[in-house]
């Protein structure tokens, strides 16, 4: 490690910024292009799905683009920070997100569309702290699990306990909203951080058993809201009640299926125009892609998401410090889970959970969080060989 | 770090398989079963709205409208949609406020009719929008249309509504419209989807018989809708084809005269409970006027009838104005029936020019049967027998024929000449007029007696033992018991009294005024019995003729030309010298000679039924006019004056015999179809 000390010598700012040695040239271009493409597609789909009802000729597109701009700025800011420095700030970020989550539960929080997950900022803007909660938790876990036990490459037992406590606090606060989808994502983040960090298999199996037992308890003690149970049963058999809970699944399938191979063309989707699929610009935005861009378009979206995920894994692999690898790997798992569940629910292979499609769905805080995550990936990438 | 690398490889595999799963599933959904979803999408996205065709008009022979359309703004409510909504009640409350009507009233009109549900209720299909107000103002309609989001499932649109320029005239004949029922909708081969407006179907009269032609073909509008069912565009449109216009042979001027005459006759006879008037064109067999009193205004059907109005239409007290007495009312014909009996005598071999005794009383078996007021008229020809309405000649002839058939021990195949002749005149079966629900009347022959006895003997035999303890009048109870005893014992036999009564149109024989008119038209016309027709032609809205409705011939009277001329000659003197001479005194017989036959039929416990069956002019008859007044008294004093009034109207005479405005100035029914121009107006 000391052999590279020459490279660590401070160079003038100009050269540091854009010179041949600059970290800017280390940015993962493929990842950047894929995310940008997803954002562009998302913007088109938001336009198509909101122009018919939202005020203004272009629907929510302007607001969506503003969100993307803010998110990009945030991502750039994060990318410029050395991720090792981030590791030091992780506990602070984590605490900040916890404060946000507490505020939501406090009287300051607001209910939108039946979920109590919002803090109104005024002027039509609102934040959803649970989205930042994902980032806070994954940084915190990265920090805790990055330090290996003496002589091994596995995390220390005490750090594992701390990790579980940190995860439990975040998940508990989100559960209080209640937001089942985000809680599941947080669980996936926790599990994947542990997997990437190299936690022993038998511990993983043990934790999985505990989680399954917990889920069973939740199911049988009827802690879940009736609508959540209904969504799950409707997933198993949408024909039970096609006008009620099965309605979303049925209509989503009809919209996507009717796109056939080539799609009906942008703004030409009758199901989209008729607003048959609820929440079409947020959770069900993939149905617009399916209807208007057809199989080719929807597979393009899947492939682009795949590119993002694979590039993320590549970054995780190439990073030489444990923190970077854990954070990058966890981000990939989070995005993969959310993408799979989101697309899966629109094509009838996953139950309906209120999760947005990364980079594509409309929604400020989620967009910010996703782009910040990309910023994190880029930060890790830019400095992967700087050990 | 190696351990972490391995685990990242596992994640790599997971991500790749996830991409594969999603892609395969997308291929399945979008490419393999895409076509299914395309049709499913079309189903959810479009809705077929039927555009009702404008119903054809009904015109009279001169092209004057009997039933026409006027446009009205109609507010309808889609009950199925409303019931699916959370705040359906709130929508109704808002609607009630706009229409300024109590919510309760709207709710009542939205209920489906059924047992225990009083009107106003909805008799049509539950999937159709239900009209709740036919008389909305433009302002009210705009209030609803401009705030559609506040009134989901409520529509206000211009619809054609039936209008009756003649008011009550011919109401039973014209019929009325009612919303189509679910069952009727199922029976239709095409177009099962609901209409945007109200799908009405003819329920009675001409509206019902010619419903198919009048209805036209509804158009189709395939509308794109959003998930709330709100229309966002039209995908396909097929314009409706208006229904054909029905031209009838009714002359609205004559119809008005007849209506006035029968209503006037009812007023003059204090106990009269119903009357009917029929005017037929003798040469064609077409109906010139058909009236029944009491009448009603068919406009009350428009826009949902109220319970009170509906009950009134059905009530005995109001005289059941829905029922056309002209074709559904069955009454004993009295002496008007003698045209059949005299023909039966001729066929039985009684000479046309013979002399017949007309005593005041004739013994039929062991019972005396009297002439009117028991007065003997001496020896008469058949001619005089008809003019002066002798009864005993017919009693005797009928009794003799009864004996010839074997009397109380009938032969194997009795001839029953009187009944057979009545059938040849068209009595005992419907005339086959193009109107629904016609009655057959009744010819009480030996078979009928047997069938009746088979159906009632159990009861009469019981009564012959138990008597009638519930009847307060002792003598009457005793009489009834004896009657029951006789009926039980030999009720299956046509008794001699039955035969005698039959010959003068009394007893169990029943005819409708239309049957009588049809029979007289055959007698004084060409001897052919026709199925009267009200409909004359069906014409497309642009004036092209679809078809002329033929008048079917359904039989020929078994009389020679000479015999018919003889009977006609006798009837021709009734109005001038016979039983109707009083009613026709002062009528200008020199200008138009009227012939006919009076009838006064006794009805047990009621006033007599008053009849006058007539024709004019006697030389070459053009019209047959029959008037019947139930409980009207003597034929010569109630029905005959009404018939006179009708002729005065047709030919244009004042009661004093001077010339006045005539309904048919040339004394002929309209012979040419009115021309309908391309724009739908009538050329005269």
- Indicate whether B568 pLDDT > 50: yes
Cβ atoms A302, B22 nearer than 8 A = yes
- Indicate whether B551 pLDDT > 60: yes
**Contacts with B81 (C-beta within 8 Å, 6 or more apart), sequence order:** B152, B153, B229
CB-based contact B26 A290, cutoff 8 Å: yes
Q: How far is CA B374 from the centre of its chain?
A: 40
Question: Which pLDDT belongs to residue B120?
Answer: 75
Contact pairs from chain A to chain B, CB under 8 Å: 140
CA distances (Å), origin B256, targets A82, A205, A219, B594, B674: 105, 99, 82, 20, 20
What would the mean pLDDT of A10-26 be, rounded to a whole number?
63
pLDDT bin (cut points 50, 70, 90) of residue B299 is confident
In chain A, the percentage of residues whose pLDDT exceeds 90 is: 46
Whether B33 contacts chain A with CB within 8 A? yes
Question: Which pLDDT belongs to residue A151?
Answer: 79
CB-based contact B3 A347, cutoff 8 Å: no
**Phi, psi (5° rounding) for residue A312?**
-60, -45
pLDDT bin (cut points 50, 70, 90) of residue A9 is low
Cβ atoms A305, A321 nearer than 8 A = no
Give the chain B residue nearest A256 (alpha carbons).
B30
Tokens representing B586 are 């002062």
Cβ atoms B472, B570 nearer than 8 A = no
Mutate to test the interface with B, among A274, A287, A308, A320 (most CBs of B within 10 A): A274
Question: How far away is chain B from the Cα of A62, in angstroms, using its nearest Cα?
Answer: 25
Question: Which pLDDT belongs to residue B197?
Answer: 46
Question: Which pLDDT belongs to residue B349?
Answer: 92
Residues B146 and B151: their CA atoms lie apart, in Å, by 9
Question: Which pLDDT belongs to residue A385?
Answer: 59
Give the chain A residue nearest B235 (alpha carbons).
A270
Range name among A232-236, A339-343, B16-20, B196-200 with the lowest pLDDT average:
B196-200
> Please, which residues 197-216 of chain A have a Cβ atom closer than 8 Å to chain B?
197-198
Question: How far away is chain A from the Cα of B288, in angstroms, using its nearest Cα?
Answer: 58
CB-based contact B30 A294, cutoff 8 Å: yes
> Please, which residues 48-107 of chain A have a Cβ atom closer than 8 Å to chain B?
none
What would the mean pLDDT of B527-550 be, rounded to a whole number?
93
Q: Nearest CB to A274: which of B16, B37, B226?
A: B226
pLDDT bin (cut points 50, 70, 90) of residue B69 is confident
Question: How far away is chain A from the Cα of B27, in angstroms, using its nearest Cα?
Answer: 7
Q: Where are the beta strands (DSSP E) in chain A?
A: 109-112, 115-122, 125-127
Question: How far away is chain A from the Cα of B153, in angstroms, using its nearest Cα?
Answer: 17
> Please, which residues 599-638 of chain B have a Cβ atom closer than 8 Å to chain A?
none
Residues A47 and A188: their CA atoms lie apart, in Å, by 32
Sequence length of chain B is 684
What would the mean pLDDT of B574-586 be, rounded to a whole number?
88
Q: pLDDT tens for residues A272-311? A: 877 788 888 888 999 999 999 999 999 999 999 999 999 9
What would the mean pLDDT of B228-252 be, rounded to a whole number?
82
Q: Nearest CB to A343: which of B3, B22, B44?
A: B22
Give the chain B residue nearest A255 (alpha carbons).
B41
- Indicate whether B48 pLDDT > 80: no
Q: Which chain A residues contact residue B32 at CB under 8 A?
A: none
Residues B66 and B214: their CA atoms lie apart, in Å, by 14
What would the mean pLDDT of A330-343 be, rounded to a whole number?
95
Cβ atoms A311, B16 nearer than 8 A = no
- Indicate whether A3 pLDDT > 50: no
Q: pLDDT tens for residues B136-156? A: 787 887 787 777 777 877 877
Cβ atoms B559, B527 nearer than 8 A = yes
* B320: alpha, beta or left? (left if phi > 0; alpha if psi -120 to 50): left
* DSSP per-residue letters across B595-618: EEEEEEE--TTSPPEEEEEEEE-S
- Indicate whether B303 pLDDT > 50: yes
Question: Which pLDDT belongs to residue B565?
Answer: 95
Q: Which chain A residues contact residue B16 at CB under 8 A?
A: 306, 310
- Indicate whether B81 pLDDT > 70: yes
Give the chain B residue nearest A306 (alpha carbons).
B19
The two counts, helices (H) then strands (E), for chain A are 14, 3
Q: How far is CA B112 from the centre of its chain?
A: 26
Q: Nearest CB to A295: which of B10, B30, B45?
A: B30
Q: Nearest CB to A257: which of B15, B30, B224?
A: B30
Residues A6 and A21: their CA atoms lie apart, in Å, by 12
Q: How far is CA B589 from the centre of its chain?
A: 35
pLDDT bin (cut points 50, 70, 90) of residue A2 is very low
Question: Which pLDDT belongs to residue B611?
Answer: 95
Question: How far away is chain A from the Cα of B78, in angstroms, using its nearest Cα?
Answer: 18
Residues B336 and B627: their CA atoms lie apart, in Å, by 11
Give the chain A residue nearest B17 (alpha carbons).
A306
Whether A267 contacts chain B with CB within 8 A? no
Cβ atoms B249, B286 nearer than 8 A = yes
pLDDT bin (cut points 50, 70, 90) of residue A163 is very high
pLDDT bin (cut points 50, 70, 90) of residue B506 is very high
Whether B455 contacts chain A with CB within 8 A? no
Question: Which pLDDT belongs to residue B6?
Answer: 87
Q: Which chain B residues contact residue A332 at CB under 8 A?
A: 11, 15
Question: Which pLDDT belongs to residue A125?
Answer: 77
Q: Which chain B residues contact residue A253 at CB under 8 A?
A: 29, 37
- Indicate whether A4 pLDDT > 50: no
Mutate to test the interface with B, among A295, A308, A345 (most CBs of B within 10 A): A295
CB-based contact B11 A313, cutoff 8 Å: yes
Give the chain B residue nearest A295 (alpha carbons).
B30
Which H or E run includes B158?
strand B154-163
Q: Nearest CB to B11: which of A153, A320, A333?
A: A333
To the nearest 10 degrees (0 to 180), the angle between helices A61-80 and A364-382 is: 30
Give the chain B residue nearest A258 (alpha carbons).
B38
Q: Which chain B residues contact residue A256 at CB under 8 A?
A: 26, 29-30, 37
In chain B, the percentage of residues whose pLDDT exceeds 90 is: 47
Q: Nearest CB to A260: which of B19, B34, B227?
A: B34
CB-based contact A347 B22, cutoff 8 Å: yes
Cβ atoms A133, A149 nearer than 8 A = no
Q: Which chain A residues contact residue B25 at CB under 8 A?
A: 344, 347, 349
Beta bridge partners, A293, equal none
* DSSP per-residue letters across A44-104: HHHHHHHTTTSSSTTTTHHHHHHHHHHHHHHHHHHHHS-HHHHHHHHHHHHHHHHHHHHHH
Residue of B292, B241, B260, B306 whose CA lies nearest to B109: B306
Whether A299 contacts chain B with CB within 8 A? yes
- Indicate whether B581 pLDDT > 50: yes
Q: Which chain A residues contact residue B36 at CB under 8 A?
A: 257
Q: pLDDT tens for residues A181-237? A: 898 899 999 999 999 998 888 888 998 898 888 888 877 776 667 777 776 666 655
Q: How many CA atoms are closer than 13 Å to the CA of B41, on its beta-carbon side?
A: 27
How confident is the prediction for chain B on average, in pLDDT? 87
pLDDT bin (cut points 50, 70, 90) of residue A6 is very low
Q: Nearest CB to B8: which of A253, A299, A317?
A: A317
Whether A317 contacts chain B with CB within 8 A? yes
Whether B24 contacts chain A with CB within 8 A? no
CB-based contact A258 B38, cutoff 8 Å: yes
């Amino acid at each position: 490690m000391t052999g590279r000390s020459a490279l660590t010598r401070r160079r003038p700012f100009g050269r540091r910024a854009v010179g041949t040695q600059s970290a800017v040239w280390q940015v993962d271009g493929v990842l950047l292009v894929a995310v940008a493409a997803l954002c562009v597609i998302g913007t088109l789909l938001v336009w198509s799905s909101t122009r018919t009802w939202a005020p203004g000729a272009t629907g929510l597109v302007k607001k969506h683009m503003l969100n993307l701009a803010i998110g990009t700025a945030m991502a750039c800011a994060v990318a410029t920070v050395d991720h090792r420095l981030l590791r030091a700030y992780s506990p602070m970020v984590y605490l900040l997100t916890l404060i946000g989550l507490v505020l939501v539960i406090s009287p300051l929080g607001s209910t939108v569309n039946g979920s109590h997950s919002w803090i109104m900022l005024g002027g039509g803007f609102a934040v959803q702290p649970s989205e930042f909660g994902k980032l806070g938790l994954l940084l915190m876990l990265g920090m805790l699990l990055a330090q290996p036990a003496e002589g091994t490459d596995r995390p220390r037992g005490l750090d594992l306990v701390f990790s579980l406590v940190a995860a439990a606090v975040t998940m508990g606060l989100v559960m209080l909203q209640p937001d089942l989808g985000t809680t599941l994502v947080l669980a996936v983040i926790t599990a994947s951080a542990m997997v990437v960090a190299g936690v022993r298999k038998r511990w993983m199996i043990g934790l999985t058993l505990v989680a399954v037992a917990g889920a069973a308890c939740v199911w049988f003690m009827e802690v879940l809201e009736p609508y959540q149970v209904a969504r799950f049963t409707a997933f198993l058999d949408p024909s039970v009640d096609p006008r009620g809970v099965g309605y979303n699944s049925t209509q989503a399938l009809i919209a996507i299926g009717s796109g056939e191979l080539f799609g009906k063309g942008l703004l030409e989707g009758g199901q989209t125009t008729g607003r048959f699929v609820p929440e079409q610009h947020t959770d069900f935005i993939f149905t617009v892609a399916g209807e208007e861009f057809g199989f080719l378009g929807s597979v393009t979206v899947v492939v682009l998401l795949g590119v993002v995920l694979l590039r993320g894994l590549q970054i995780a692999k190439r990073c030489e410090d444990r923190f970077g690898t854990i954070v990058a790997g966890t981000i990939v798992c989070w995005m993969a889970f959310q993408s799979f569940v989101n697309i899966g629910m629109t094509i009838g292979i996953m139950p309906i959970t209120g999760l947005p499609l990364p980079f594509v769905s409309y929604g400020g805080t989620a967009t910010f969080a996703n782009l910040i995550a990309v910023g994190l990936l880029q930060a890790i990438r830019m400095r992967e060989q700087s050990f | 770090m190696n351990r972490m690398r391995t685990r990242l490889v596992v994640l790599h595999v997971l991500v790749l398989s996830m991409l594969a799963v999603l892609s395969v599933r997308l291929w399945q959904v979008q490419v393999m079963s895409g076509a299914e979803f395309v049709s499913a999408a079309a189903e959810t996205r479009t809705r077929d709205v039927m555009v009702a065709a404008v119903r054809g008009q009904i015109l009279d022979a001169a092209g004057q409208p009997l039933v026409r359309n006027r446009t009205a703004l109609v507010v309808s409510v889609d009950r199925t949609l409303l019931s699916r909504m959370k705040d359906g009640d709130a929508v109704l409350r808002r609607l009630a406020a706009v229409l300024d009507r109590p919510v309760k009233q709207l709710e009542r009109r939205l209920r489906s009719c059924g047992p225990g549900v009083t009107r106003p209720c909805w008799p049509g299909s539950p999937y159709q929008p239900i009209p709740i107000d036919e008389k909305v103002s433009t302002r009210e309609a705009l209030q609803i249309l401009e705030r559609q989001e506040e009134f989901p499932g409520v529509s206000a649109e211009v619809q054609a509504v039936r209008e009756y320029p003649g008011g009550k005239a011919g109401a039973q004949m014209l019929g009325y419209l009612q919303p189509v029922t679910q069952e009727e909708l199922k029976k239709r081969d095409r177009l099962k989807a609901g209409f945007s407006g109200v799908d009405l179907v003819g329920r009675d009269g001409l509206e019902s018989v010619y419903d198919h032609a009048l209805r036209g073909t509804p158009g189709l509008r395939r509308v794109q809708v959003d998930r709330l069912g709100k229309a966002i565009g039209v995908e396909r449109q097929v314009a409706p084809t208006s229904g054909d216009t029905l031209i009838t042979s009714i002359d609205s001027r004559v119809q008005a005269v007849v209506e006035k005459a029968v209503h006037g006759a009812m007023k003059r006879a204090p106990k009269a409970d119903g009357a009917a008037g029929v005017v037929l064109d003798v040469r064609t067999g077409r109906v010139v006027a058909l009236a029944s009193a009491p009448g009603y205004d068919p406009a009350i059907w428009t826009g949902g009838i109220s319970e009170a109005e509906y009950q009134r239409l059905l009530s005995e007290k109001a005289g059941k104005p829905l029922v056309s007495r002209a074709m559904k009312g069955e009454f004993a014909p009295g002496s008007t029936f003698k045209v059949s009996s005299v023909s039966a005598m001729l066929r039985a071999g009684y000479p046309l020019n013979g002399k017949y005794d007309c005593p005041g009383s004739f013994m039929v078996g062991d019972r005396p049967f009297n002439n009117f007021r028991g007065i003997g008229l001496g020896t008469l020809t058949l001619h005089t027998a008809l003019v002066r309405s002798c009864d005993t000649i017919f009693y005797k002839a009928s009794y003799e024929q009864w004996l010839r058939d074997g009397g109380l021990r009938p032969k194997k195949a009795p001839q029953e000449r009187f009944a057979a002749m009545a059938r040849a005149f068209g009595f005992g079966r419907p005339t086959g007029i193009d109107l629904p629900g016609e009655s057959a009347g009744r010819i009480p022959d030996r078979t009928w007696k047997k069938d009746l006895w088979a159906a009632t003997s159990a009861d009469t035999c019981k009564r012959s033992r138990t008597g009638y303890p519930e009847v307060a009048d002792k003598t009457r109870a005793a009489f009834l018991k004896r009657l029951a005893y006789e009926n039980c014992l030999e009720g299956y036999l046509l008794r001699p009294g039955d035969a005698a009564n039959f010959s003068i149109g009394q007893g169990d024989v029943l005819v409708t005024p239309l049957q009588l008119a049809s029979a007289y038209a055959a007698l004084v016309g060409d001897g052919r019995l026709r199925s009267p027709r009200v409909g004359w032609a069906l014409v497309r809205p642009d004036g092209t003729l679809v078809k002329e409705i033929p008048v079917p011939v359904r039989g020929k009277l078994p009389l020679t030309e000479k015999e018919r001329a003889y009977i006609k000659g006798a009837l021709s003197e009734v109005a001038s010298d016979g039983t109707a001479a009083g009613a026709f005194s002062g009528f200008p017989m020199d200008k138009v000679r009227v012939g006919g036959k009076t009838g006064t039929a006794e009805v047990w416990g009621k006033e007599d039924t008053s009849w006058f069956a007539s024709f004019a002019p006697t030389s070459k008859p053009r019209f047959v006019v029959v008037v019947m007044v139930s409980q009207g008294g003597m034929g010569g004093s109630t029905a005959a004056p009404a018939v006179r009034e009708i002729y005065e109207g047709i030919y244009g005479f004042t009661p004093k015999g001077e010339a006045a405005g005539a309904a048919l100035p040339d004394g002929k029914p309209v012979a040419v179809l009115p021309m309908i121009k391309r724009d739908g107006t009538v050329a005269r």
